[in-house]
Every structure is written in structure tokens, then in C-alpha cells.
Structure 1
Amino acid sequence: MGDTAAAPAGTATPPDAEAQLRSPAYLRLLVIAAVIGVPISAAAYYFLHLVNMLQSWVYADLPRALGFATAPLWWPLPMLGISGVLVGLTVQHLPGRGGHSPVDRFEPGAVPKPVELPGVLLAALASLGLGVVLGPEAPLIALGGGLAVCAVRLARRDVPQRVAAVVAAAGSFAAVSALLGSPITGAFLLMEASGLGGATLGLVLLPGLLAAGIGSLIFVGLNALTGIGPAELALPGLPQFDHPDVAQFGWALVIGVLAALVGSGIRWLATALRAHVERHTVLLTPVIGLAVAGLAIAYVAVTGHSASDVLFSGEAELSPLLQGSAGYSVGALLMLLVCKGLAYGLCLSSFRGGPVFPALYIGAAGGIALSHLPGLPMVAGVAMGIGAMCAVMLKLPLTSVMLATLLLYADGLAVMPLVIVAVVVAHVVAARFAPDQDPVISAG
């Protein structure tokens, strides 16, 4: 694929872009994207299953094997300490530093080299499998893009850089195809974050969309065959939401501002700590892990709820939180927000994983807490909280709106106007707190 100049806004697609769409070379690229989508999505499926298995073994099977009925209150301390040691050693000594720091944004960048992929995998498993408060999407994006380029360059060494970038993006699309509940959501995240735009935006992203669709089918097929599919990011069974009113639009303004303050505080904590951790990685990463464990223990001791509310990404815990929200007092929800938010910021500074799922969880918990106040139904509060927190933590407002609305099924369309207002307010207010230059993370 050749490069084309960006067309001015409002003009038609340049003729050479249309010619590329009809060219045999572009059709071959689509075939490559489709073929790559199969093994990479299968690898992503089993990666997610391995993470779930590790979490279950570490926090359920191992304590029982050692004679405990359930994991004791202090159990997260050694587990997160070990996680810190493993991640610190990986970051310090393996090529690629275990992948990008999750405090960085989703933006275009270098695809991991083959020699860096083992470090990315090890750091992700040591972080996610042992209870760190991060999600799997960033390692999947890196691994999917890296594996795709490796596969193409094994078949042909002289791959043009432009083609390699498109293939890497397709690999990333395939890897996250079903992670966010729909291939459209995962694809949209990478569309907004990829930066592969200009007049050929459609040409560049079409292979990724194809890989995402095939990847989602692979997830569905493997789940039907094995029955071991990872938890789906879906929020069924919520009360019906009819339509927004004036009071709820007022709440959208409030939630947008609150999310900007909370999210900016989390990012400030993560950025400030990272500067210190990077100077003493092997020593301080386990210390950060122990601090995260301490927050989980304090939450359990004060509220009596499970440590899993604070630990892990929140992907599997989000639906139980919403369905069991009546069992959480306002005090317990506030304690959850403090402990999860601090743990999130600590993990962003040191470990390896993605920023999406903890943001979803914290936004939902904040929405539930605020719904105890007059004029705010829980469904609206949850949707606006999810959208606003994602907008602050990801700086991807369009993706944030889509995430919040698609996760709520039938309620999503009705609540979308509120989500849009909350996201815009959060995005604009958070920009007032952001540094002039924000670091970035590769999106393939």
C-alpha cells in the first residue's frame, strides 16, 4: 500500500485511495488480515483463560491446598509481593521492559520486537494473574501486533513499513476483538487511538475490522468447544431506564467534573510514583505490590466485603457489583472508591497491564454511590460514571461513550445523551489538569 496525502475536510476520497481499494495488493492485505486474525485471536483467548486460571489458583485453590477454608485476610500480601518481584526483575532485565507502562496513553508507536514479546507476556501474567489492579487489553494489543508482524516477516523479510503498521494494527484488532463485549467496541478503541488516519483511513482500518470480526468468531467458537471462555464484559439484568430528564442532565455535569478530579488525581499519583519506581525498579515494585495488598486488607477489615472488589481489573467483578449493589452501604462504596482508586494509581505506576477495566469499575462504583442521592437513577449514574472515568483515564471520548452505552444493552440508547454530556465535561475539565506532554502507549 502506498502513502497518500490527507484530503482536506469535506472533500471526496482521492482517486488513488479508491484505486488501492480495487488493487490486487490490497485484496492480498485483506486476506493476510483474515488469516492472521485466526491464530492471534486464539492465542488471545487462551491468554485470557490462563490469566483467569492463575487468579483462581492463587486466590482459591492454593489456600485450600494449604489447609485454609478460604484465602485468609493477609493472603494478598505475599501474592502481590511476589508479583512485584517478578515484574520488577522482568522490567529491569528483559528486553523491552515488559512492555509499555500502563500510565501511558493509547497512541501509535513501535510494535514490540520478537525478542521483547516474552518479557511482555511474563510481566502481564505476573501482574494480572496475581491480582494487580490492571486489565489485559494493553498486553493483548502489544502481543497481537508483535505476533502479526513476526508472522508476516517470517513469510517475507522485505515488508514495507506502511504494510507492517497495518498488519500490526490488524493483529491488535484480532487480539482485543471480543474483550470489550463486542468486536465493534474493541475495533472502535483502536480506531480512535491508532492515529493511522488521513485520506486512507478506511483502507488502513478495514483489515483491522476484518481481523476483529474473525477474531470474535474464533472467541465464540472456542468458547463453544471448550466452555472455558473468559468473563464477558456485559451488564444484563439492570432496571429499565426510560428517558433522561433535566435533573439527570444536571447530574451529568456533576459526574463529569467529579470524574475529572478523581481520574486526574489517580494519574497524578501514578505519574509521580513512576518517576521514583523507575530508578529502583526491583526494590520498589514489590513495595508497591505490598501497598496494594494493604489497601485490599483494609477494605475487607472495614467493610466485610471481598478483597476481589479492590484487587484484579474489575472485569469479572463489575456485573456482581451492579447486581449486588443493594448489599453495599454508601460508606462501603466510598471505601471501595478510595481503596480501588489508590490501588489503581499504584499499579499504573509500576506494573504491566491496561487502564480500561479498573476505570470502568471505579466509574460504575461511583455511579452507584451517587445514585443514593435524589434525582439520579442507578442505571444513569453507572453509565455516566463509566463513560466519564474512561474519558479521563484513556483520553478517548468517543470510545468512552460507546463503551458506556453498549455495555447497558437496551438501556444504552436511552442513557446515551447523558453519557455524552458527562464524557465531554470530564474530557474538557481533565484537560485543565493534564501536563502539556502526556506519554503514550502503542496501539499497534
Structure 2
Amino acid sequence: MTADNALDVPSLRTQLALSVPALVVGVSSAVGLFAVDELAHGIEHLIWAALPEAWGVDPASGWWIFAILSLTGLAIGLIVQFVPGHGGRDSATTELVAPPLKLSAVPSLLAVTVLGLAGGVSLGPEIPIIAFNTALMVALVGRFWPVISSELAVMVTAAGTIGALFGTPVAAALVFTGIVATFKAGGALWDRLFIPLVSAGAGAVTMRWLDGPQLPEPGFPLIGTPDAADLGGGIAVTVVATLVGLGAALVFPYAHRFFHGLRHPALYITFGGILLGLLGVLGGPITLFKGAQQTADLVRNHADYSLWTLALIIVVKLAALVIAAAAGFRGGRIFPAVFIGAAVGVAANAVMPAMPLGLAIACGVMGVVLPVARDGWVALFIAVVVVADATVLPVLCVAILPAWLLVSRTPEMLIHEAPPPVAQGLRAGQA
């Protein structure tokens, strides 16, 4: 398959032939995610548990949080400015699926990703992990399966990584629906998704064997058949959560311009780390890190938080997400958005106790993820995954309509730069 027809509908024989490398890439993508995640967890344990215990300090104390985040910003800033590869692309300008990086950029990308995850920066792993995996896999596929084009290798690797991240190939199917549906090639959409789905399924199964899903699965009681009150409350929570997410999206380009106006990564990323440290002191440990475990903790202990405390947590985490993404840290925006949405849902349940907690959290998550990811399918999917309850779907499918009307005409939470020529085949609507 050439670059020109990589996304055309392949024949049955070609699909079968490509299934084996797709399985290999999917498993390898999950292993790559697991390895990076484990390395980050090891360093996280060292700086947030082992060292404080050895030195007799409280890792939840304000001065420790401030020091660690400030030093994390300094370390990442120095790597981005001085180390070859410069930590890969600025995540503020990068979508989930992007052209592969040169292998020379992989070590510095790995370093800044691990430091950010371990140091408590409010960004998720999705963008740098996909970039890390695609750089490696494209090089390996080009060597051992040269018949596979680089564009298809990127898609298959990204699909495997997305499947591993969210614990199901459905996530990859929804992401890639928005990419391949607008290409000019004819044929059934399912045929064009087949090979990426093979990789996504392999990645999802492998990651569940290795480490379980990245997002929490609290397992709320099923809401059953929603009534009018559920529908009205769901729409209200979704709209409020969407406005919260839109606030971040609207401020984001100004924050990015401010930080990058300082010109030197060692300066503006360090400054970003200092600001994140101050926010961490204000919001406490619950507002640190990518937000997956913190979401589970918040939901599990939701009765312990007052409405004002929840409001503070939402504001702090929202500011931390904007600063971390704008100041040059490497990471994705979906995981922190899930945490913010869950906090909005918990706050809504405190205001409207009759509203099922699972429904309130699902609507909150969908509302915040929608303007951050700018993808209705992904927002719906993640909202259902977080509460592990498909019975919320009827309310979500109605509530997303006014939310999308708010989002569709507002800027993306993404800084657009002119893509290199190789990117043209990877972006929707540019085939």
C-alpha cells in the first residue's frame, strides 16, 4: 500500500495480510504505554513517598508540592531547550494523531513525559505516548513491513495506543471515525477502520492484562429509565460543564502566547512549574497529576467535600490544565478534563441530591471533555466509561445537543500551526 492509497478500502486478502502486523503493533503499543507508565509510577513513588518518608516530611504539605512542581518545570524546561529533540512537539499544537517524530526526538520526549507524569503536572499521557509509540513503530514497520505506508503505520499505532489508554477498541473506532470518514476514498467506513481496530483491540486486551484500564470504573447503580427530572437535570449539568470547559478553551491561546512570549523554554516552562506549584498548594494533592486516580478518589469520597471545596478544586484544576498545556509541558488534555467534569458532576449532585450521582458525573464529564477534545463521539464514550453505565446514554444523547451548539462556533483548545507536507494525509478533510 502506498501513501496515496493507504486509506483506500483494502481487499479482503490485504486485510488478512495486514492483520498480523496490526496485532503486533497493537500489543507493542500497549507494552510501550505500560513501560512508560510504570517508569513514571516508579519516579512518582520516589519523589512523593520514598523521599518524604526518608526525610520525615509530609508530601501533602504546601512547600513540598511547590518545590516538586517548580523543580519539575525547571527540569523539563532545561530538557526542552538544550537536549537534542527538544522534548518533541509542543503538545499545545498537537492533535492525538500526528505525523511521526524522528527517532532522535524520542529520548527527550520520553524524559519530559515521565517527569511530567511523575511530578504531578496536570496533563494526561495520551499525546506524548502516541507520539512515542508512533515514532518507534513507524521505524520498525518501515524496516520489517516496508509494504505498509507510514500513514497507515501511524494510524494503526495510534489506534493500538488509544485502545490501550481507554481499555477498549471502541475508543479508537470513535476517534478514527472523525478522521477517515471525510477522506475521498469510497467504500464502507468499516472496511477502512478494520486494520486500525485490529490494532486497537490488541492494545486494549494487552493493557488490561498488564495494568487494567487507565480511567476509573466506579460502577454506580444503573439509573434505569430516566424521567423528565433526569433529562432536565442532565441538560443543565452538561451545559454548565460545557461552559466550564469553554472557559479553558477561550483562555488557552492567550496563555500560550504569554508563556511562549518569554521565548526560552527553560524560562517559561520553569515559570509554569512555579505557577502549578502555587496552584497545588491552593488546591491540595487532589488537584495534582493527570487526574485518573484522583477522579476515583473524588467520586469515592464525594460526601467529604463541601460545595465550596468542590468549586475551589474545579477552578484550581482548570487553571492548572490551562497553564500546564500552555507553558510547554508535554501531555494530553483529556484526562484532566475528565477529573474536572467529575468534580462538576459531584458539585451538581450536591446542589440537586435527587439527581443520580452517576448521571450527574457522566453529564459533567461529557460537558467538559466536549470543548477540550472537540469530539462529540469521544465525549459521549468517555462519559459512559467513567460511570460504567450505558443506561445514561439516552440522557447524554439529548444533553449533548445544546452543548454542541455552544461548542461548535468557538475556538478549539489547540494552537494551530502550518502542518508539514507529510501531515496532510493524516488530517481529516485534507485528503
Q: Does 1:399 align with 2:378?
A: yes
Per-residue CA shift, 1:117-140, capped at 9, x if unaligned?
A: 222211211211110000111111
Runs of 5+ consecutive residues of structure 2 not aligned to the other structure: none
Per-residue CA shift, 1:76-125, capped at 9, x if unaligned?
A: 22211121122222322345542333334636532112112222211211
| 1-structure distance, mates of 2:46, 2:270 | 21
Per-residue CA shift, 1:312-343, capped at 9, x if unaligned?
A: 01111111211110111111111111111111
Among 66, 77, 90, the residue aligned to 1:77: 66
Cα distance change on mapping 1:343 and 1:30 into 2, 3 Å: same
Cα distance change on mapping 1:104 and 1:378 into 2, 3 Å: farther
| 1-structure distance, mates of 2:179, 2:45 | 32
What corresponds to 2:335 in structure 1?
357
| 2-structure distance, mates of 1:239, 1:34 | 35
What corresponds to 1:296 in structure 2?
280
Q: Deviation of residue 367 (structure 1)?
A: 0.8
What corresponds to 1:214 in structure 2?
202
Among 154, 169, 185, the residue aligned to 1:168: 154
What corresponds to 2:252 in structure 1?
270
Q: Deviation of residue 167 (structure 1)?
A: 1.2
Among 297, 312, 326, the residue aligned to 2:303: 326
Cα distance change on mapping 1:105 and 1:370 into 2, 3 Å: farther
Q: Deviation of residue 274 (structure 1)?
A: 1.4
Q: Does 1:125 align with 2:114?
A: yes
What is the RMSD of the two structures over their aligned residues, measured on CA atoms? 2.8
Cα distance change on mapping 1:5 and 1:285 into 2, 3 Å: closer
Structure 2 letter corresponding to 1:372: A
| 2-structure distance, mates of 1:5, 1:136 | 27
Q: Does the aligned pair in 1 maintain the 2:310–2:347 contact within 8 Å?
A: yes
Cα distance change on mapping 1:121 and 1:4 into 2, 3 Å: closer
Q: TM-score w.r.t. structure 1 length?
A: 0.85
What corresponds to 1:285 in structure 2?
269
What corresponds to 1:199 in structure 2?
186
| 1-structure distance, mates of 2:271, 2:403 | 32
Q: Deviation of residue 354 (structure 1)?
A: 0.7
Cα distance change on mapping 1:330 and 1:92 into 2, 3 Å: same
Structure 2 letter corresponding to 1:269: V
What corresponds to 1:63 in structure 2?
52
Structure 1 letter corresponding to 2:155: A
Q: Does the aligned pair in 1 maintain the 2:73–2:271 contact within 8 Å?
A: yes
| 1-structure distance, mates of 2:414, 2:49 | 43
Q: Does 1:257 align with 2:239?
A: yes
Q: Does the aligned pair in 1 maintain the 2:99–2:154 contact within 8 Å?
A: no
The correspondence of residues 90-239 of structure 1 with structure 2, limited to 5 A, is: 90-104=79-93, 106=95, 108-155=97-144, 163-193=149-179, 197=183, 198-199=185-186, 201-221=189-209, 223=210, 229=211, 232-239=214-221
| 2-structure distance, mates of 1:184, 1:353 | 22
| 2-structure distance, mates of 1:259, 1:102 | 24
Structure 1 letter corresponding to 2:350: H
Per-residue CA shift, 1:135-156, capped at 9, x if unaligned?
A: 1111111112111101012336
> Match of 2:95, SS?
strand
Q: Does the aligned pair in 1 maintain the 2:92–2:414 contact within 8 Å?
A: no
| 2-structure distance, mates of 1:437, 1:100 | 13
| 2-structure distance, mates of 1:78, 1:219 | 33
| Stretch of structure 1 that moved more, 196-205 or 133-142 | 196-205
Q: Deviation of residue 400 (structure 1)?
A: 1.0
What corresponds to 1:348 in structure 2?
325
| Stretch of structure 1 that moved more, 253-262 or 145-154 | 253-262
Cα distance change on mapping 1:230 and 1:80 into 2, 3 Å: farther
Structure 2 letter corresponding to 1:271: P
Q: Does the aligned pair in 2 maintain the 1:367–1:384 contact within 8 Å?
A: yes
Structure 1 letter corresponding to 2:74: V
| 2-structure distance, mates of 1:26, 1:115 | 32
> Match of 1:371, SS?
helix
Cα distance change on mapping 1:48 and 1:365 into 2, 3 Å: same
What corresponds to 2:346 in structure 1?
368
Cα distance change on mapping 1:193 and 1:312 into 2, 3 Å: farther
Runs of 5+ consecutive residues of structure 1 not aligned to the other structure: 7-15, 224-228, 300-306
Q: TM-score w.r.t. structure 2 length?
A: 0.87
Q: Percent identity?
A: 27
| 2-structure distance, mates of 1:364, 1:288 | 25
| 1-structure distance, mates of 2:379, 2:305 | 26
Aligned length: 414
| 2-structure distance, mates of 1:319, 1:436 | 25
What corresponds to 1:434 in structure 2?
411
| 2-structure distance, mates of 1:346, 1:408 | 28
Q: Deviation of residue 35 (structure 1)?
A: 2.1
Per-residue CA shift, 1:143-198, capped at 9, x if unaligned?
A: 12111101012336x656xx211111111222232321323224433443567744
Q: Deviation of residue 44 (structure 1)?
A: 1.5
| 2-structure distance, mates of 1:405, 1:339 | 25
What corresponds to 2:38 in structure 1?
49
Q: Does the aligned pair in 2 maintain the 1:96–1:112 contact within 8 Å?
A: no
Q: Does the aligned pair in 1 maintain the 2:361–2:387 contact within 8 Å?
A: no
Structure 1 letter corresponding to 2:157: G
Q: Does 1:22 align with 2:8?
A: no
